[in-house]
Amino acid sequence: MEASVERLVFVREDEFTVARMTAEGGPGFVAAGRALAGVQPGETLRLTGEWGEHPRHGRRFTATACERVTPSTVPAIRAYLGSGLIRGIGPRLAHAIVGRFGEHTLEVIDKEPDRLREVIQIGPGRQAQIVQAWQEQQSVAALMLVLQGFGLSPLLAAKIYQAFGEQAGEVLATDPYRLIGRVRGIAFGIADRIALRSGVPERSPQRIEAAILDRLESAGVRAGHCFLPLTALLAETAELIDQDRALIRRSLDALAAERRVVVEALSGQTVVYPKEQHSREVSLAAQLTRLLRAGSTLPLRAYEEDARLHDDQRAAMTLALTCTVSILTGGPGCGKSHTVRAIAAAVRAMGGTVTLAAPTGKAAKRLSELTGLPAMTVHRMLAHTPDESSLFSDTPVRADLIVVDEASMLDLHLATRLVAAIPSGSHLLLVGDSDQLPSIGPGSVLADLLDVAEIPRVRLTHVFRQAGDSGIVQAAHRVRAGELPVLPGRGGFWFEEVDDPAEVAERVIHLATVAIPRKQNIPPGQVQVLCPMRRGTTGTSEIGRAIQDRLNPARDKLPEHWSGSSVFRPGDRVMPIRNNYDKNVFNGETATVTAVLPQDRLIRLTTDDGRPVEYGFDELDDLTHCYAISVHRAQGSEYPFVVAPLVNEAGGVMLRRRLLYTLITRARSWVVLVGQRDALQLAVRRLGGRRNTGLSRRLHQP
């Protein structure tokens, strides 16, 4: 049958889609199936399948095949144009256009676009916008057909077009490996499927080089490694493409000759770096050495010392004031923030200048609240250097003392830009908890620097009495020491034992949306759900979707937009997961969706500091919802109440001591863990491996 998509009801991560449909001259109905992946409201579809009864949702059509067709009737054309599929046309303008051209409307837009000016509301600018959007829509539709031929998701078509524009078809036909890293959702496996079906030989150098680069890139994204040992790289690549290691080594040598990778001896083994990671690591080591060897320009004068400082806090102050690079570490309740405040006050009393910064907006705001001093993100401090691949900032950081809090979050890229921007003679104080998770991006900068004995550091170990009374602080210090917290808990820490993962998820959702807000008389927005994993019954995707449906469900006549398996509605809390210098937003900031505008194909946000931002529908991969987030995403943030599932799903691959420690220390008042006791024990017991980095060894070199 042929029917038009009225609205999307549900999209699962595996692309199973449920849509409300309208057939010409018939009643509305519900269709479901993976065949509907990527359909949008307003499209006309030719469906193949069968009718059936769903045990919960009643009668619906299960689609086994779906073909997009050009709408031919006046109502279908009006619905198509008014749905927002063509940027610049909303329901009112669609009515006017179809009123003028009737069933010939789409033919006019396609072949006689100048006639659009016959509609009184359309001037030259709007006409050009409509024509461009129409051409883009037709190009994406053509790409969908190509992808279907390769057995791939049509959802990738818009992303490929966004990355390559009119060259998208040529890239698919001649060099599909270019899609890797440029199009989110396309890793080597998908690009390789396209290439092999297009006739690229299995032993092609193009294919083998792409596989090598993919293994290196995947090691950085998946595990934060800066390099892979040569033997591991050859083994992983051979397993990926089932080719001889000697052949792979020849392709690796070709990549090294072109300086696309760097092969070098490091601590007695041969390792392979992606070019960018090697350049950054070498540069960071050189810039740190420059700062360490520089004479201090900080004016040392008498100042009044805070009498409340503990001995190790005084030692940290001495290092920060006398050493050009120093590190301050310590767990919760040990007074890191108070120490930073005292150091900053001393520098200002001596006539010096201080800049406080942190890797994310949440961390910077928290630093400002704890110290009573202004703080900013590292990105803003670096004057938003537009070229994210640049190793150096055009604007040096002019301050006598630069303090960077939450330094465990600094990845290799950001640390390199930061240190390169600091003039010789200024003091850099890195503050962080070395027992927390490392950065999301490649590198392990804080841990590497702590391995270098020549870099001065103080670890605060004294837990102040007021903090020591907190169940959160007690639990965190026990976990850090490899001990199980006192169960079920007290004074801010609580463990609720539930074995079944589905029951764990439901209990977490209830606690976050009903139980804790009701008991504490707070809005649900003050309760943050943190999950060790993204996928699975207790992952961020499933739990986050359920919380969104309870706190911000779909409403009649209120626009919403589905992007993949995520739906965006006014009122949603979201977080950018990539830096965007053009929009002046950075990874880790949070914002609220204020409007969804189908006609303009964009959503409007207001960031927590009040800035308006717009994201096009084709940019929504850069946003994630905040209803449930990963522990990694929560680094640098603190929430009044935290609820987290803890289960052995997928073998508990993410359960590590650092992750559990970081999770517990994100809560200010209460943290409630719900799950299996053996999962908690596993997380406490399992340490996790070190990342492959060479920074500390480069700093050890004379």
Question: What are the backbone angles phi and psi of residue 423, rounded to the nearest 5°?
Answer: -70, 150
Give the integer Cα–Cα distance in Å for 265 and 282. Answer: 14
What does the block give as tokens for 110?
Answer: 């396609």
Q: What is the mean pLDDT of residues 447-475?
A: 91
Instruction: Give 22-55 pLDDT, tens digit per residue.
Output: 987 778 999 999 999 989 999 999 999 999 998 8
Q: By C-alpha distance, which of 633, 632, 644, 630 is closest to 590?
A: 633
Instruction: Identify whether the C-beta of residue 642 lies closer than 8 Å to the C-beta of residue 528.
Output: yes
Q: Is residue 303's pLDDT more than 80?
A: no
Instruction: Identify whether the C-beta of residue 502 lies closer than 8 Å to the C-beta of residue 495.
Output: no
Question: How sure is the predictor about 150, in pLDDT bands with cuts at 50, 70 and 90?
Answer: confident
Residue carrying structure tokens 């995520």: 566
Instruction: Give 243-259 pLDDT, tens digit per residue.
Output: 999 999 999 999 999 99
The pLDDT score that the predictor gives to residue 103 is 92
Give the integer Cα–Cα distance in Å for 499 and 217. Answer: 37
Question: How sure is the predictor about 386, in pLDDT bands with cuts at 50, 70 and 90?
Answer: very low
What does the block give as tokens for 569?
Answer: 């509605």
Q: What is the mean pLDDT of residues 351-368?
A: 89
State pTM to two decimals.
0.89
- Beta bridge partners, 283, equal none
Q: Is residue 464's pLDDT more than 60?
A: yes
The pLDDT score that the predictor gives to residue 388 is 42
The pLDDT score that the predictor gives to residue 51 is 96
Binding-site residue numbers for ATP are 333-337
Instruction: Identify whether the C-beta of residue 273 lies closer than 8 Å to the C-beta of residue 227.
Output: yes
Question: How sure is the predictor about 222, in pLDDT bands with cuts at 50, 70 and 90?
Answer: confident
Instruction: Identify whether the C-beta of residue 10 lies closer than 8 Å to the C-beta of residue 35.
Output: no
Q: What is the mean pLDDT of residues 396-418?
A: 92
Q: What is the mean pLDDT of residues 202-221?
A: 95
Instruction: Identify whether the C-beta of residue 643 lies closer than 8 Å to the C-beta of residue 522.
Output: no
- Strand 376-377 relative to strand 401-404: parallel, antiparallel, unpaired? unpaired
Q: What is the mean pLDDT of residues 324-335?
A: 95
Instruction: Give 52-74 pLDDT, tens digit per residue.
Output: 998 888 899 999 999 999 888 89
Instruction: Give 572-617 pLDDT, tens digit per residue.
Output: 999 998 888 889 887 778 899 999 999 899 999 999 889 999 999 9
Instruction: Identify whether the C-beta of residue 229 lies closer than 8 Å to the C-beta of residue 694.
Output: no
Percent of the chain exceeding pLDDT 90 equals 73
Helix and strand counts by DSSP (H, E) for the chain: 25, 26
Q: Is residue 148's pLDDT more than 90?
A: no
Instruction: Give 471-502 pLDDT, tens digit per residue.
Output: 999 999 999 999 999 999 988 999 999 999 99
Give the integer Cα–Cα distance in Å for 628 and 524. Answer: 12
- The number of CA neighbours under 13 Å toward the Cβ of 430 is 23
Q: Name which residue leads in pLDDT, 282 or 372.
A: 282
How many Å is the maximal CA-CA distance in the chain? 87
Give the integer Cα–Cα distance in Å for 388 and 417. Answer: 9
The pLDDT score that the predictor gives to residue 651 is 66
Q: Which amino acid is at 49?
A: G
The pLDDT score that the predictor gives to residue 396 is 61
- Tell me the CA distances in angstroms from 184 to 158, 207, 439, one per residue in order: 11, 20, 21
Give the sign of the dihedral formed by CA 389, CA 392, CA 398, CA 400. positive
Question: How sure is the predictor about 383, in pLDDT bands with cuts at 50, 70 and 90?
Answer: low
The pLDDT score that the predictor gives to residue 612 is 96
Instruction: Identify whether the C-beta of residue 359 lies closer than 8 Å to the C-beta of residue 588.
Output: yes
Give the sign of the dihedral formed by CA 154, CA 157, CA 159, CA 160. positive
Q: Which amino acid is at 665?
A: T
Binding-site residue numbers are 333-337
Ordered DSSP codes for 500-561: -HHHHHHHHHHIIIIIHHHHHT--GGGEEEEES-SSSTTSHHHHHHHHHHHHS---TT---E
